[in-house]
Amino acid sequence: MTTTNRQIVLKSRPEGWPAPGNFEMREAPLPEIADGDVLVRALYMSLDPYMRSRIGTDRPPADRMPLDSPMEARVVGRVAASRHPDYREGDLVFGSLDWADYSVAVGAKNLRPLPDARYDGKPVPLAWHLGALGLPGMTAWIGVETATPVAGETLFVSAASGAVGQVVGQIAKIRGLRAVGSAGTDAKVDFLTNDLGFDAAFNYKTATPDILSALQGCAPDGVDIYFDNVGGVMLEAALDAANLRARIIACGMISQYNLARDETPGVRNLTHINRKRIRMQGIGVSDHDHRQDEFLTEMAGWLASGRVTYRVDVADGLENAPAAFVAMLRGENFGKQVVKIADEA
């Protein structure tokens, strides 16, 4: 085993769009472990939009990622050394760890073994544990349930080919809904309708500035559930297209994350919430941690039966994580963005 450990730290806080220069690769001694700790060799690391808010200045100082400290992410890895009775060297695990080759799970906190899950008769790709079986999948699962869907309704999800959106649409179909999605390229739109079984989808970039017409063309009977990953003009169009007593699940607003407050466009039709009796609700998976086993059981069943599939976009090498993170925020990824840090064997 090596004696040094590569880490990526937050070097400076971005103003507006992050850049790779806000991060820095550093080497540190391989960390030692105490009784109860587990040393994990990272294999795959998740990059997620929520990380943007933690590196900026919008949050209270106590909630920000510290400067000159390793970035944090959800990681699939292999136990390199253990002084905890529940974990042995070689075990595959999942946890919240550092952007690093090796991380210590102190007291094995937030660490768990990878669940057994299969797709097409074989174990699912390890990176799927950061997607369909991870935070994005559970976010989709909780969000669709929170919307109290009724079979036959129309669900519209923005950023539909992304980490969360691709699962939302597939769960919608399982629940008997009509699934409509938006994405930023024609290839992504084809993926939604041809590979994931969405009923309709549109390219919001080519539809701009008339996103509403594109949405109405895909959802001629209106929208009953809007799963919002984007905010801004997409939320405005969804409100215009919403039916009486529609539900909006506010999962994320990635179009707003890199804009200063005075640059952020306002949603101009919020009166629809009152007039149409719309329920708009934010969701957070941490509110539902007690249901993780229930989620994993159901999602593993869907994967095993082929009712849900998943796409990941893999950046190769820890050193490329900052550039992949910025590209993901710009929508340049195709599927769930992960970073491969080491070979699986």
Each residue of 52-72: pLDDT tens digit? 999 998 888 888 999 999 999
pLDDT band at 49 (very low <50, low <70, confident <90, very high): very high
Inside any domain, residue 296:
no
pLDDT of residue 70: 96
269 and 140 together in one domain: yes
Average pLDDT over residues 141-164: 99
Inside any domain, residue 257:
yes
- Taking only the tens place, the pLDDT of each residue in 309-328 is 999 999 999 999 999 999 99
- Taking only the tens place, the pLDDT of each residue in 171-193 is 999 999 999 999 999 999 999 99
149 and 93 together in one domain: no
143-to-95, 126, 224, 330 alpha-carbon distances in Å: 22, 24, 14, 24
105 and 183 together in one domain: no
Inside any domain, residue 294:
no
Task: Give just the sign of the alpha carbon dihedral 140, 146, 147, 151.
Answer: positive
Q: Is the pLDDT of residue 132 over 90?
A: yes
Q: Is the pLDDT of residue 261 over 90?
A: no
Name the nearest CA neighbour of 114 among 89, 136, 95: 95
Inside any domain, residue 223:
yes
pLDDT of residue 59: 81
pLDDT band at 259 (very low <50, low <70, confident <90, very high): confident
99 and 139 together in one domain: no
For residue 100, give the CATH number of its domain: 3.90.180.10
263 and 331 together in one domain: no
304-to-121, 297, 299 alpha-carbon distances in Å: 7, 11, 9
pLDDT band at 230 (very low <50, low <70, confident <90, very high): very high
Scan for tokens 């939604």, then name that residue: 192
Percent of the residues in the chain that have a pLDDT greater than 90, as a whole number:
91
pLDDT of residue 256: 86
141 and 252 together in one domain: yes
For residue 252, give the CATH number of its domain: 3.40.50.720
pLDDT band at 165 (very low <50, low <70, confident <90, very high): very high
Q: Which domain holds residue 239?
A: 135-286
Chain mean pLDDT for the chain: 96
Inside any domain, residue 181:
yes
Inside any domain, residue 307:
no
Inside any domain, residue 247:
yes
pLDDT band at 292 (very low <50, low <70, confident <90, very high): very high
Inside any domain, residue 301:
no
169 and 264 together in one domain: yes
- Report the number of distinct structural domains present in the chain: 2
pLDDT of residue 79: 98
pLDDT of residue 141: 99
